[in-house]
Structures are given as structure tokens and as C-alpha cells.
Chain A
């Protein structure tokens, strides 16, 4: 409980510290909005030209896109310590100070950074989801709402887990490893669209290795009333747990890597 309070307080501090320069903050948030808006515009243009993607109608596509955006940027907002700041901590030897404090390393890394500018991207994601929900005429019910929350929560864990791979590799190699971007940012780009449109190797990659499909697409398809692969409702509720499994696995990897940590500091 204490840990959660610590995390909440740190987040409050981080956000307040960023708001100290309101003009700069506003400008950067606007920049994020423009960037995410550009991606969203590409989706609209694709829909304008192609009308649909196999069985997925425009509303469905907006919903999938929005769910991915919201999940990914929530992670980048509140998990910034892992998704952005960690390689820098290794390079500068800052991690040493975390090791001597009487708290877990990971929780301290979480507390060390936040990125409230992502609120702009999250807003675009929410707008896309609302638009998709209206166009696809989703009949919302309590189970559907709960499933959506479950999907976002486990998506959060999954993405953190994927960034933990990078963190583990960085401990070994000191340099930041661009290669892992294929799973994190590559997964984000690919899984903006439902998984079943991709050829088998990509489907396997994003179902087994980085299970975006299980965590986000299976529940989203069920909410849209077009279950993926015709899977039943209980599958939609069960599949997101894959996010927690991934997080557990990659966290174990991170723990192992941390034991090999040798400081770079002078």
C-alpha cells in the first residue's frame, strides 16, 4: 500500500514539475496532438479510399485504432520511467542511487518519470474510440465496459513488459537497443489494425511473442459483436490475461539482467 502511495505522490510531483513551464508544456502537448493527429488523418484517408478492410467496417477500424492509442499512450504517460528514461539512467550511472535505497528498483524507476504531454495522444485515441463506437453502433453493457477496462489494464502491463525487454538489453549493452522497437513501436503500428488481416508470420509474432492480438484485438472484436476467429465470450475475457503473463516473464528477465548490472559511473 505504501508503495502505491509513493508512486502516486511521485506522479503528482512529476506532473507538477512539468507544469512549472506552462508555455513550454502547452507547446509540447500541442506538438503531440499534431503528431497523433497526423497518424489519425492517415487512417481516415485509408478509410476514405478503401471503405473497409475485409469484414471490418470504418467504425470497427476507428475503435481498434483508438483502443491501441489509449493503451499505448497511457503506458507512455505513467510508465515513462521504463519506456523512456531507463536507458539514460544506465548510461549515466544514475541507477546506482536507486540500488542503495530501501525500495524495489522497478518501482523507483516508475516513480522517476512521467510524461503528461501524452494526454493529447490519449485524447485523440478516446475520440477515435468514441467515433468508432458510434459508427459501429456498439450496444454498450456492463460486461462490455468491464472488458474494455480489462483490456486497457492488461495492455498497459503488456507494453510495460515489452519495454522491460529493452531495459534488460540496455543493462547488458549500455547503448540503447533500437532493435526492440520492432516489438514495441512496431507492435503499436501493426496492431492499430485488427490482427487477422496480416499474413501468418506477423500474426504469430503479435499473438505469441508480443500478444497484442490477445490483449487488445480479441476483446475489442467481441465488444464490436464480431468475435475474432469466432471465439466465444469467455475467451474474450480470458485472453487479456496474456498481458500479465508477458509482464511476469519479462520482469523475470529484467531481474536476471539487473543481477549482471555493472555501473558505468565514474
Chain B
């Protein structure tokens, strides 16, 4: 257990090294958020929707703030597999899946906190309908926080499955791009899931991708009533456990047939 805690702390420190990059990324993210909200406002002006625009702007800001949680891959592993230095990892007295799970968890947690705190601070200052609205209520805030944490656990499990695909093929870019795209679309990053067609909602909100950020955000804005929260947290947890189990299995199979490249 202590070993994994060390791995976590190491990755955290590494992620904190790139504060300059985080600043640049932060400004970019801010700008993209503003563009998206301007677009949705123009669309709303023509045809208002059931979901109010203030929910949409909150949705966009929370997505932008925790963007790093979705998209933070560990490039080391792909390199290790290509060069064969994965052999070193196999020698470590650690459980390989857990080792990588903790690394990714640390990277995602620190990376997203580093950006989320200033982003949410700025988004709060923007006027109503442009910025981040306050949560629908105390219970909305209190349920969205654990939901966000489970979302983090879930996305880390998902990422490990993507990495397992990486281990299969030496050139993982095709598969990775496909899985990342699925994630960006169905996690609500490209277009808020609340704006997807109504007939799609029962399906897309139950996909694992919706558990990452969409569920916590909807709890926050009040699109999900507080009374529905236990069911949602349960669904999130179920997916997290299922994905972790699938990942674990996948890694175990991979480890048996792994080829160490190079010489």
C-alpha cells in the first residue's frame, strides 16, 4: 500500500512541474469555453430549450475545468512497450495494474485540480448566463462532489483499458484516437450531453462515459434531482467496478503474451 502511495506522490510532483504549461493551457481552455458559450447563446436566442442557458454555461465551464481529467494519457507506457523497457516494470515487486492505475489517478487528479481551481474562480465572476451558476442547492453540491470523485475513479479505470489496447499493438495511435473520440463525444466535452436528442438520453446517460463528468455536472446544476442521487452514485460505482475488473482481466491476459521488444 505504501509503495502505491509513493507512486501517487511521485506522479503528483511530476505533474506540478509543468505550471507554465498549465497557465498556457488554462488561458486556452478559458478562451474555448467563452467561444462555446457564445455559440450556445446564439443558438438559444433563436430557439430556447427546456434546459436553461445558465445550466449550459455551467456545464461548459465544469467540462473545461475538469478537461484534464478526461484527457491525460501516460505517454511513458507506449514508449516503454516500443523500446522494451517494460521489462523493468515487470520486475518491480508491484501489481502492474494497480501501479499504472495509481499513476494515472495522480496525474488526472493533480492535473485537473491545477486547472479547475483558477478556472472555476474566473467562471464564477462572469455574469449570469455566461459564467458558472451556483449549485442548485446544498444537497446538489454535496452529491456532486462524491459523484465527481467516483467519476475520477471511473475514468482512471477506463484509461487503463485504453492502455491495455496500447499493449496489444505497437502503434496504438489508431485505437487510442478512436477511444478518445468516443470519450470526448459521450462524456459531453464536445457538446453538452443535455443538448443531445431527447430520444438518446436514456442510452447515453447510462454509458460509462456519462459517469465521468456528465453525472456530477447534472447533479450540480440540478438537472438531476437530489432524490435521484443515490441511484446515480450507484450506477457510477457499478461502472467503475465493472471497468476496473475488465481492465484487470485484460492486463492479466496481456501480461501472459507480452513480448519484450528490442535487445
A178 to B47, CA, bound (A): 35
Q: Is the CB of B35 within 8 A of A190?
A: yes
Verify if B181 is at the interface (C-beta below 8 Å from A). Answer: yes
Q: Does B195 contact A (CB under 8 A)?
A: yes
> Which residues of chain A are within 8 angstroms of B177 by Cβ–Cβ distance?
28, 31-32, 34-35
B190 touching A181 by the CB < 8 A rule? no
Chain B residues whose CB sits within 8 angstroms of the CB of A32 once the complex forms: 177
Residues of chain A in range 201-255 having any CB-CB distance to chain B below 8 Å: 202
Interface of B is mostly: helix
- Whether A179 is near chain B, meaning CB under 8 Å from some CB there, is yes
Contact with A along B50-72 (1 / 0, CB 8 A): 00000000000000000000000
Q: How far is the CA of A24 from the CA of B190 in the complex (A)?
A: 27
Please tell me if the beta carbons of B28 and A48 are within 8 angstroms of each other in the complex. no
Chain B residue with minimal CB distance to A37?
B181
B242 within 8 A of A: no
Q: Which chain B residues border A145 with CB–CB below 8 Å?
A: none
Q: In the bound complex, do residue B28 and residue A31 qualify as a contact, i.e. CB atoms below 8 Å apart?
A: no
Select from chain B the residue with minimum beta-carbon distance to A21. B171
B231 within 8 A of A: no
Among A39, A45, A51, A54, point to the contact of B196 (Cβ < 8 A): A45
- Mask: chain B, 168-197; 1 = CB below 8 Å from A; 0 = not: 000101111110010011000011000111
> Which B residues lie within 8 Å of A30 (CB)?
174, 178
| B46 pairs with A42, CB closer than 8 A | no
Q: Check B42–A198 contact: CB distance below 8 A.
A: yes
Number of B residues, CB within 8 Å of A: 33
Shortest CB-to-CB span from B108 to chain A, Å, is 19
**Which residues 1-18 in A have Cβ within 8 Å of B in the complex?**
none
| Chain B residue contacts of A45, Cβ below 8 A | 191, 195-197
Flag whether A186 is at the interface (Cβ < 8 A). Answer: yes
A39 touches B46 (CB 8 A): no
Residue B122 lies at the interface, judged by CB distance under 8 Å to chain A: no
Tell me the residues in window 188-209 of chain B with beta carbons closer than 8 Å to chain A beta carbons: 190-191, 195-197
**A41 within 8 Å of B (CB atoms):** yes
- Give CA–CA (A82, B191) in the complex, Å: 30
B178 contacts which chain A residues (CB < 8 A)? 30-31, 34
CB pair A42 B190 closer than 8 Å: yes
Q: Does A146 contact B (CB under 8 A)?
A: no
- Closest residue of chain A to B191 (Cβ to Cβ) is A42
A182 touching B27, Cβ below 8 Å: yes
Rounded to whole angstroms, the CA-CA distance of A42 and B39 in the bound complex is 13
The answer to the question of A49 belonging to the interface, with a C-beta cut-off of 8 Å to chain B, is: yes
Q: Please report which residues of chain A, range 40-56, place their CB below 8 angstroms from some CB of chain B when the two chains form the complex.
A: 41-42, 45-46, 48-54
| Residue B259 interfacial (CB < 8 Å) | no
Are the C-beta atoms of B47 and A50 separated by less than 8 Å?
Answer: yes
CB <8 Å contact, A46 and B191: yes
Inter-subunit contact B49/A49 (CB<8 Å): yes
Kindly state the separation between the CA atoms of A197 and B171 in the bound complex, as whole angstroms: 42
The answer to whether residues A38 and B184 also contact, given A31-B174, A189-B32 and a CB cut-off of 8 A, is: yes
Please give me the residue from chain B that is nearest to A47 by CB atom: B43
Bound-state CA distance A182–B25 (Å) is 10
Closest to A29 in B: B174
Q: Among B24, B39, B175, which residue has its beta carbon within 8 angstroms of that of A179?
A: B24
User: A177 contacts the other chain (Cβ, under 8 Å)?
Assistant: yes
Q: List 18 A-B contacts (CB under 8 A).
A: A21-B171, A27-B174, A30-B178, A31-B173, A31-B181, A34-B181, A35-B177, A38-B184, A42-B190, A45-B197, A46-B191, A49-B47, A49-B49, A178-B24, A181-B28, A190-B35, A197-B42, A198-B38
Interface residue ranges, A against B (CB under 8 Å): 21, 24, 27-28, 30-32, 34-35, 37-39, 41-42, 45-46, 48-54, 175, 177-179, 181-182, 186, 189-190, 193, 197-199, 202
B residues bordering A, Cβ < 8 Å?
20-21, 24-25, 27-28, 31-32, 34-35, 38-39, 42-43, 45-47, 49, 171, 173-178, 181, 184-185, 190-191, 195-197
Task: Apart from A28-B173, A28-B177, list 19 A-B contacts with CB within 8 A.
Answer: A28-B174, A31-B177, A32-B177, A34-B177, A34-B181, A35-B181, A37-B181, A38-B185, A39-B190, A42-B185, A45-B196, A49-B49, A54-B45, A177-B24, A182-B27, A197-B42, A198-B35, A198-B38, A202-B35
